[in-house]
């Protein structure tokens, strides 16, 4: 991709990765493996620092329940967003995700401080 040269700058000091994809496009299912590999595994971030969002376009007949992702993507938190039907649900999931990231940041900061003290 023509933006690959920017990736190191994007990744620097990042604490979380949200990957949004269209589950109705088979090409997207292949691409998210590449995004996960580059942005999560190679950093390295924990799987809990990554959120997958399967975004369903208005009127798409996408089957929300039966989206089965292959390993290692199936270990990640996956939410379905359909802003027509349930925007509040998506908002709550984002808040939960951000809270978990803040917890991870605080815990790693405390570990660093303790290692400096001891």
- Residue 10 parent element (H or E): helix 7-11
Least confident of 6-10, 82-86, 113-117: 82-86
Q: Rounded to the nearest 5°, which phi and psi values hold at 79? A: -120, 150
The pLDDT value recorded for residue 86 is: 75
SS3 readout for 23-74: CCCHHHHHHHHHHHHHHHHCCCCCHHHEEEEEECCCCCCCCCCCCCCCCCHH
Per the structure, how many domains does the chain have?
1
Residue 78 lies in a domain: yes
Q: Look up the domain containing 22 and give its range.
A: 7-117
Higher pLDDT, residue 112 or 118: 112
pLDDT, residue 64, reads 60
- Predicted TM-score of the model (pTM): 0.83
Render pLDDT for 35-88 as a digit per residue (tens, 0 to 9).
999 999 988 899 999 999 999 887 775 556 668 888 999 999 999 988 777 788
The rounded distance, in Å, linking the Cα atoms of 98 and 83 is: 19
Task: For residue 47, give the CATH number of its domain.
Answer: 3.40.50
Share of residues in the chain with pLDDT > 90 (%): 53
């Amino acid at each position: 991709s023509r933006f690959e040269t920017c990736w190191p700058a994007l990744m620097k000091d990042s604490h979380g990765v949200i990957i949004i994809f269209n589950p109705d496009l088979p090409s997207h299912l292949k691409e998210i493996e590449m995004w996960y590999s580059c942005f999560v595994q190679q950093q390295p971030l924990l799987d809990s620092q990554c959120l997958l969002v399967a975004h369903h376009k208005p009127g798409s007949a996408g089957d929300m329940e039966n989206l089965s992702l292959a390993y290692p993507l199936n270990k990640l938190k996956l939410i379905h967003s359909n802003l027509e039907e349930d925007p509040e649900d998506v908002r709550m999931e984002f808040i939960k995700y951000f809270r978990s990231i803040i917890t991870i940041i605080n815990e790693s900061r405390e570990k660093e401080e303790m290692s400096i003290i001891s």
